[in-house]
Amino acid sequence: MAHADMAKLNVAETDMQACLEHAAKILKDNSSNFIKLQINHANILRLQKKYTEAEKLYLSAIAIKEKKLGAHPDLAHLKRGLAGLYMEMGKTADVEKLLLSAVDIDKRKLGDSHPSTLSAMQDLGNFYRYNNNNAKSLELLKSVSDKKKTIYGEKHPNYIQSLEDLALTQWQNNQIADAKTNYQIVVDNTQNYINTFFNSLNDNEKTLYWEKTNSLLHRYYSFVLANYSKEPSLITSLYNTLVNTKGFLLNTSSKIRNAIANSGDSELQETYNNWLETKEHLNTAYQLSKAELTEEHINVDSLENKANEYERVLSQKSALFNESKTAVVFNFETISKALGADEAAVEIVDINEYNNGFTGKAKYLAVVVSNSKATLVELGDAQLIEETVKTFRDKTINRKPENEAYNIVWKNLDAQLGGVKKLYLSLDGLYHQLSINSLKDASGAYLIDKYTISFLGNTKDILDVKQNLAAAKKPASAFLIGNPAYGKGGVVAQLPGTEAEVNNIKKILNASQVQNTVLIGATATEAALKNIKSPSILHIATHGYFLADLSEVEVNKVLGVDVTVAKQNPLLRSGVLLANCENVFDENYRGTNGDNGILTAYEALSLNLDKTDLVVLSACETGLGSVKQGEGVFGLQRSFLIAGAKSIIMSLWSVSDAATMELMTLFYSNYSKSGNKEQAFAQAQKQLKTKYKEPFYWAAFVMLSK
């Protein structure tokens, strides 16, 4: 079941089939162990949505257990499983009967307060809630919650889950005050559990756990949206939850890496280096086909398990280092005190609508925090906003007039920003692909002329950003890459403009006595980039890519990566092209020492950027990637931030070499003197805007800080 836990369902089913074939030779088909294997198989089929096949296995197992054992807790467990499957299938006619039978069996055999009995009662209470039988649902879920509190204590996940179920039923029954009280306990304890135990998980376990937690959070967000007008205090509760959970995977990964780098613990750092080496081996394995893996005797599962174990050790040990630090409480009071009178923090959140079950619809909200209050702004239907963002992008890129987007994506928010000049903005969903600065308000003014906007992954980062800006100084060193020699076949077009760009930047940095290294042509290799040691600035001017959809791809490899693993991991579908990258178009090519001419976002995670102030990705669409609710963009930007960079400049679309070079020249001229990267970048965009009136030229690049 390990592969099922990692969402490798096809592999899990193949392994389970083999296991069943082997077990059939040893075990009787009505034995308990064989039935357990069959139910594990049914659960894999359920995850694959092969419901009919899963149902047959459940029915067969139930028939055997009824004949063999009669009323037995094992039978109750199977009936609960089948009821859950039917709920997922929408086949609800027999669910109540199955759950009533399960409750009855468990009560008779195990007692009223046994965990299995309570779980069956909880399932039944939720079934009644789904069917709007509120009286029965409230009675059952209140009883379950009270008993679980006694059995498990107030902080146990089992009790917290039962309390959330009760809160949802209270919400549905219009008992809003009770639901609010219980939901606050649920949210607080969920955050506490995360802070206590999350670091002990490896990266894969964290992702899987977070997916489940994210569903809980979106139910809560939907509760707030439905009731904040009656309970205004829910707005600050929502904001507190957002700043402590939004971008959590990114923030946790960065925190652990920094703790290890600064620990002074040689044993821990050796483990970390072993993890990096294993990740490099994994990257090499991902570039091989199944036949090549067999030929080289490489076991990907073994490498992944090894990497996961290193990650677990690193997470556990780094958590110990962090325990000695004073934790900063991120909440409305903390952030509002950091804001000036003309400043505001805005959290945009894409929420899944919940109405006794997720409806399949989504909405965008914004929480606006000033130095005196928090306000919730309903931005609108997610589908309409996302269609508008796509249209806006297309029109901007094709230099066509655009006057509709502001009213749909920003007008409601703008109405709450009176008197604000400085905006700290954390995006979500498709807002990540929107060039906010190039929106025009009702008067025809661009937002870049109305606000100074700092883009953050999370508005709690205001504290760090303000501290960094207060201590700003000019950069000490820079590592510049431009116009790599992609190959002699002409498959990838050379970019002479990027060579001129980095040479121009070199002159600016030399004039400000900033030490720099420039790699152009054949020297601009992946290996050289991987060997950098935290320069103040890393500037990469080359081709970039993000492969959004590989569903129609029929080759074995895409840009040097096995298609199967690339489909599963967006960090393997995003990257930058470096010297000799044309080799990857030959499927039989194998790079040496992890250098195949392409640095994927997966590989960028392991770069040494712990003291890097800024990464500039002067390449096509480097700001794009796989957008995940509440977690930002899984692509190059995420990887460079996890690797340690404090800020990143990236592009939302391809722009002319001339405009890019002018923007970078203006930016570095300002930045190399003042050290204030944010001010230098905003100034450069405004300067470029005086020459190029169309946003296509001056608004493609954005800066994101953490």
For residues 239 and 310, membership in a common domain is answered with no
CA torsion 269-273-276-277 (nearest 10°) is: -160
* Residue that finishes a domain, picked among 426, 443, 471: 471
Q: 366 with 448, same domain?
A: yes
Q: How confident is the model at residue 5 (pLDDT cuts 50, 70, 90)?
A: very low
Neighbours of 326 (CB within 10 A): 5
- Looking at per-residue pLDDT, the higher value among 586 and 284 belongs to 586
Burial 269-281 (b: 16+ CB within 10 A, else e): eebbeebeebbeb
Q: What's the number of domains the chain is made of?
A: 3
Whether the predicted pLDDT of 225 surpasses 90: yes
Q: In this structure, are 391 and 537 located in the same domain?
A: no
Residue 46 lies in a domain: no
Average pLDDT value for residue range 505-528: 96
Share in percent of the chain as helix, strand, coil (round to 5): 55, 15, 30
CA angle centred on 318, ends 314 and 322, rounded to 5°: 165
pLDDT at residue 394 tops 90: yes
Q: In this predicted structure, what is the pLDDT of residue 440? A: 94
C-alpha–C-alpha distance, residues 147 and 162, integer Å: 10
Please state the pTM of the whole predicted model.
0.84
Sequence-separated contacts (24+) of 57-63 with Cβ below 8 Å: 58/82, 58/85, 61/35
Structural domain boundaries, residue 235: 175-262+328-471
What is the pLDDT, as a whole number, of residue 204?
64
Residue 229 lies in a domain: yes
Closest-CA residue to 509 (of 530, 482, 479): 479
Q: What is the mean pLDDT of residues 452-458?
A: 94
Give residue 328's pLDDT. 56
Q: Are residues 304 and 394 in the same domain?
A: no
566's CB contacts (< 8 A; 6+ apart) are 286, 547, 550, 558, 572, 573
Asked if residue 469 has pLDDT above 90, the reply is no
Structure tokens, 525:
């290799």
Percent residues over pLDDT 70 in the chain: 88
Is 49 within the bounds of a domain? no
Is 10 among the domain residues? no
Please tell me whether residues 510 and 645 are part of one structural domain.
yes
pLDDT top residue among 353 and 292: 353
Kindly state whether residue 136 falls inside one of the protein's structural domains. Answer: no
d(C-alpha 301, C-alpha 638), whole Å: 25
pLDDT tens profile 97-129: 999 999 999 999 999 999 999 999 999 999 999
Q: How far apart are CA 307 and CA 289, in angstroms?
A: 20
Give the Cα separation of 89 and 117 in Å (integer): 24
Give the β-pairing of 515-521 and 537-541. unpaired
Single-letter residue type at 98: L
Kindly state the helix (H) or strand (E) to which residue 351 belongs, with its residue range.
Answer: strand 343-354
Beta strands 537-541 and 477-484 are parallel
Tokens read off for 369: 């925090």
8-state DSSP, 329: P
Q: How confident is residue 323, by pLDDT bands cut at 50, 70 and 90? A: very low
Give the span between the Cα atoms of 228 and 376, in whole angstroms. Answer: 8
Q: Whose structure tokens read 């990027």?
A: 498
In this structure, are 520 and 447 located in the same domain? no
Cα 110 to its chain centre, rounded Å, is: 42
Does 490 lie in the same domain as 402?
no
Question: Are both 598 and 700 inside the same structural domain?
Answer: yes
Asked if the structure places residue 340 within a domain, the reply is yes
Which position has the higher pLDDT, 7 or 557?
557
- Same domain, residue pair 631 and 698: yes
On the CB side of 475, CA atoms within 13 Å amount to 33
Q: Which helix (H) or strand (E) holds 33?
A: helix 32-47
pLDDT for res 657? 87
Q: Which of 267, 280, 270 is nearest to 307 (CA)?
A: 280
Polymer length of the chain = 706
Question: Rounded to an integer, what distance in angstroms lies between the CA atom of residue 176 and that of residue 191?
Answer: 22
Do 451 and 479 have their domain in common? no
Q: How many CA atoms lie within 13 A of 658 on its CB side?
A: 3
In a domain, 525, yes or no: yes
Contact 247, 193 (CB under 8 A): no
Give pLDDT tens digits for 560-581.
888 888 887 888 888 999 999 9
pLDDT of residue 329: 62
pLDDT in tens, 259-274: 676 677 788 878 877 8
The Cα 452–Cα 302 span in angstroms is 50
- What is the mean pLDDT of the segment spanning 507-528? 96
Question: How does the average pLDDT of the chain come out, rounded?
Answer: 87
| Residue 152 included in any domain | no
pLDDT tops 50 at residue 6: no
* pLDDT for the residue numbered 501: 95
96 pLDDT more than 90: yes
> Judging by DSSP bridges, how do beta strands 343-354 and 358-369 pair with one another?
antiparallel
Specify which residues 345 forms β-bridges with: 369, 424
Domain-ending residue, one of 434, 456, 471? 471
- From 449, 471, 493, give the residue that closes a domain: 471
- If asked whether residues 372 and 490 sit together in one domain, one would say no
Asked if 296 and 443 sit in the same domain, the reply is no
Question: For 50, which DSSP code?
Answer: -
Tokens of 567: 């489909």
What span, in angstroms and rounded, lies between the C-alpha atoms of 584 and 661? 29
485 in Cβ contact with 580 (< 8 Å): yes
Check residue 318 and give its pLDDT.
60
Q: Are strands 452-456 and 422-426 parallel, antiparallel or unpaired?
A: parallel
Query: Which pLDDT tens digit goes with each residue over 625-644?
Result: 665 565 566 678 888 988 88
Q: In this structure, are residues 495 and 657 in contact, taking their beta carbons and an 8 Å threshold?
A: yes
The predicted-structure confidence for 399-437, as pLDDT tens digits, reads as follows 998 888 999 999 999 999 999 999 999 999 999 999 999
Read off the tokens for 622.
């480097």
> Would you give the distance in Å from CA 195 to the centre of its chain?
18
pLDDT of amino acid 154: 87
Beta-strand relationship, 561-562 and 477-484: unpaired
